[in-house]
């Protein structure tokens, strides 16, 4: 390599760095679009609007929520992946589009790792283990003991095959070496009445959905799927107390398209971390049953990698498909 070529390459690197720094200093100079790949009114949409308002305040520009629902989040996620990597199109999504969805559907038109830039692990929500009031079990250990004494006779409901509640239960069964029959429904609203009536023996479900039924005394809660007690339901023990190492969370995170300049990622990450310290944001998250997240983009990428490996094993071991 000649000296002239080396100087030319070095000058190119300096100019490129200078351009990126200039972009970051000027960013943002217009409104930002935050794609939510789910319908308006759902949990992800509500979180996005709370966060968007505070993020706009931190950055000094409006952040506009754009609901792009359809195909279990694929349509909105793909739109974000194909957007220009300039920081003006972001996506707030969940583990369903970036960990579980790609594992269950190899035809998804994007790569969760190659087509996105992780910005922040925004929040998480655990599942809660619930049984009918008529159930003889009052703790996770009692449930395990009862299932072992009655092999193959218990069933469990879920909001649908391949969803977090289903996979959470499958992981629990694998770790305890129990066998139960899966009864999938098209949503929790259809499954809950059967659980209350005792036609289902068990259900793992979103804590934000189940908490009102628990508080009203319509179902019995046994544990949350965390490794420690959660502020959302501090009276419930973590399932890991009974099954060491067990955890199952639905996470919510913010991404940009691939190749988003590092200075812009850093600026967005810092602003979102500040937003997560705002008392109003924390209060809204708590009402929805969410624990605040935070951390660096690298933290987020590592969490995704670990979770994808975990769910892949559950799906492979259980031979779970959407067909």
* pLDDT confidence of residue 35: 97
* pLDDT confidence of residue 18: 54
| 3-state DSSP assignment of residue 32 | strand
Q: Does 25 fall in a domain?
A: no
301: pLDDT strictly greater than 80: yes
* Nearest one of 274, 269, 251, 236 to 57, comparing CA atoms: 274
221 and 80 within one domain? no
The alpha-carbon radius of gyration of the chain (Å, integer) is: 22
Tokens 């970051």, residue located: 24
Cα torsion for 50, 247, 245, 213, to the nearest 10°?
110
216 and 138 within one domain? yes
Distance CA 224, CA 217 (A): 17
Of 87 and 8, the one with more pLDDT? 87
Average pLDDT over the chain, rounded to an integer = 91
115 and 258 within one domain? yes
Domain that holds residue 116: 30-125+249-318
Q: Identify the CATH number of the domain in which residue 256 sits.
A: 3.40.190.150
217 and 149 within one domain? yes
Number of structural domains in the chain: 2
Indicate the residue among 241, 261, 290 that finishes a domain. 241
Distance CA 209, CA 81 (A): 30
For 172-306, strand residue ranges (E) read 181-184, 203-206, 219-224, 249-257, 291-292
269: pLDDT strictly greater than 90: yes
10: pLDDT strictly greater than 80: no
260 and 231 within one domain? no
Indicate the residue among 241, 259, 286 that finishes a domain. 241
* pLDDT confidence of residue 215: 92
30: pLDDT strictly greater than 60: yes
Q: Does 13 fall in a domain?
A: no
Strands 89-94 and 219-224: unpaired
Q: Does 156 fall in a domain?
A: yes
- Quickly list DSSP for 148-187: HHSTT--EEEESSTTSHHHHHHHHHHHHHT---EEEE-SS
Q: Does 21 fall in a domain?
A: no
Q: What percentage of residues in the chain have a pLDDT greater than 70?
A: 92
* pLDDT confidence of residue 12: 58
Question: What average pLDDT does the segment 66-76 reach?
Answer: 92
* pLDDT confidence of residue 9: 56
177 and 90 within one domain? no
Q: Does 14 fall in a domain?
A: no
Q: Does 24 fall in a domain?
A: no
Distance CA 117, CA 298 (A): 10
Indicate the residue among 187, 215, 241 that finishes a domain. 241
* pLDDT confidence of residue 24: 63
94 and 58 within one domain? yes
235 and 279 within one domain? no
* pLDDT confidence of residue 108: 94
144: pLDDT strictly greater than 70: yes
Question: What average pLDDT does the segment 110-115 reach?
Answer: 96
* pLDDT confidence of residue 22: 55
Question: What average pLDDT does the segment 207-236 reach?
Answer: 92
Tokens 């200093």, residue located: 25
Distance CA 255, CA 257 (A): 7
263 and 119 within one domain? yes
Cα torsion for 254, 262, 101, 37, to the nearest 10°?
40
Distance CA 29, CA 173 (A): 51
237 and 147 within one domain? yes
Tokens 């023996």, residue located: 201
Tokens 């790949």, residue located: 37
138 and 112 within one domain? no
275: pLDDT strictly greater than 60: yes
* Residues 6+ positions from 88 with CB-CB distance below 8 Å: 28, 30, 31, 32, 33
* pLDDT confidence of residue 17: 52
Q: Residue 160 has which token pair?
A: 């649908």
166: pLDDT strictly greater than 90: yes
16: pLDDT strictly greater than 60: no
Q: Does 184 fall in a domain?
A: yes
Tokens 């399932």, residue located: 239
287 and 224 within one domain? no
């Amino acid at each position: 390599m000649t000296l002239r070529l080396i100087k030319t390459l070095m000058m190119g690197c300096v100019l490129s760095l200078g351009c990126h720094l200039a972009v970051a200093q000027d960013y943002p100079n217009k409104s930002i679009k935050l794609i939510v790949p789910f319908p308006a009114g759902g949990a992800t949409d509500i979180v996005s609007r709370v966060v968007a308002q505070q993020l706009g305040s931190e950055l000094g520009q409006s952040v506009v929520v754009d609901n792009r629902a359809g195909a279990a989040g694929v349509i909105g996620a793909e739109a974000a992946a194909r957007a220009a990597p300039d920081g003006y199109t972001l996506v707030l999504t969940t583990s369903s589009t970036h960990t579980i969805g790609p594992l269950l559907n190899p035809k998804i038109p994007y790569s969760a790792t190659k087509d996105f830039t992780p910005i922040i692990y925004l929040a998480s929500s655990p599942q809660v283990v619930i049984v009918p009031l008529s159930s003889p079990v009052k703790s996770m250990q009692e449930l395990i003991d009862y299932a072992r004494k009655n092999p193959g006779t218990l069933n469990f409901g879920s909001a649908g095959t391949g969803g977090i509640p289903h996979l959470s239960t499958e992981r629990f069964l694998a770790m305890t070496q129990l066998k139960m029959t899966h009864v999938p429904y098209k949503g929790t609203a259809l499954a809950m009445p059967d659980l209350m009536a005792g036609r289902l023996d068990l259900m793992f479900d979103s804590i934000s959905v189940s908490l009102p039924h628990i508080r009203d005394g319509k179902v019995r809660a046994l544990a949350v799927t965390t490794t420690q007690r959660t502020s959302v339901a501090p009276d419930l023990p973590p399932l890991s107390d009974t099954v060491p190492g067990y955890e199952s969370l639905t996470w919510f995170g913010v991404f940009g398209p691939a190749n988003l300049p590092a200075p812009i990622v850093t600026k967005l990450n810092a602003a979102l971390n500040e937003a997560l310290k705002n008392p109003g944001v924390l209060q809204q998250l708590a009402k929805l049953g969410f624990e605040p997240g935070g951390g660096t983009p690298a933290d987020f990428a590592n969490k995704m990698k670990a979770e994808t490996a975990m769910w892949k094993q559950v799906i492979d071991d259980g031979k779970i498909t959407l067909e």
